[in-house]
Amino acid sequence: MIHQENNNGFTMIEIMLVVIIIAVLAAMVVPNLAGRGEQARKAAAKADIESNLASALDLYELDNGRYPSTEQGLKALIEQPTTAPTPNNWNGPYLKKKTIPKDPWGKDYQYVFPGTHNKEDYDLASLGPDAVESDDDIVNWDKTSK
């Protein structure tokens, strides 16, 4: 009578081969995904600055004849300011969520009116991932003209 062994398991070589294949695939995919999160955060900040907050500020200006002062800040978009110049036709809140959004890095957007870069308008910026004024800031003015 011949004794037959049951070899239903994987050998160490087979397991190592699978691990190597997975590592090679990961090495090809991970570099393509790296940096996409930061790119998405920058795109979100740009959308807030150029669309969401800009539209709310423009509606405020249409109702009141001027943008909120620096002191009133973006809070004027959700609560009627009580400090001068008080708006006569405030018809807010001007933001749908009724909260002042943070930038994608969890920091406050920087708002100044009248702007130092946009003399006739307001300056609106996110200080970016480093949270300090630098080249990675997302702003509503042309950074190339100085």
More confident residue, 9 or 139: 139
In a domain, 99, yes or no: yes
In a domain, 11, yes or no: no
The answer to whether the beta carbons of residues 77 and 93 sit under 8 Å apart is yes
In a domain, 74, yes or no: yes
In a domain, 45, yes or no: yes
The domain total for the chain is 1
Is the model's pLDDT at 141 over the cut of 80? yes
pLDDT of residue 38: 81
- Give the CA radius of gyration of the chain: 27
Instruction: Kindly state the tokens that stand for 96.
Output: 């749908």
Task: Give me the CATH number covering residue 90.
Answer: 3.30.700.10
Rounded CA-CA distance 49/43 in Å is 10
% the chain with pLDDT above 90: 52
Residue 59: closest CA among 85, 89, 101, 103: 89
> Which domain does 62 fall in, by range?
40-139
% the chain with pLDDT above 70: 89
In a domain, 57, yes or no: yes
Q: How far apart are the first and last CA of the chain?
A: 93
User: What pTM was estimated for this model as a whole?
Assistant: 0.74
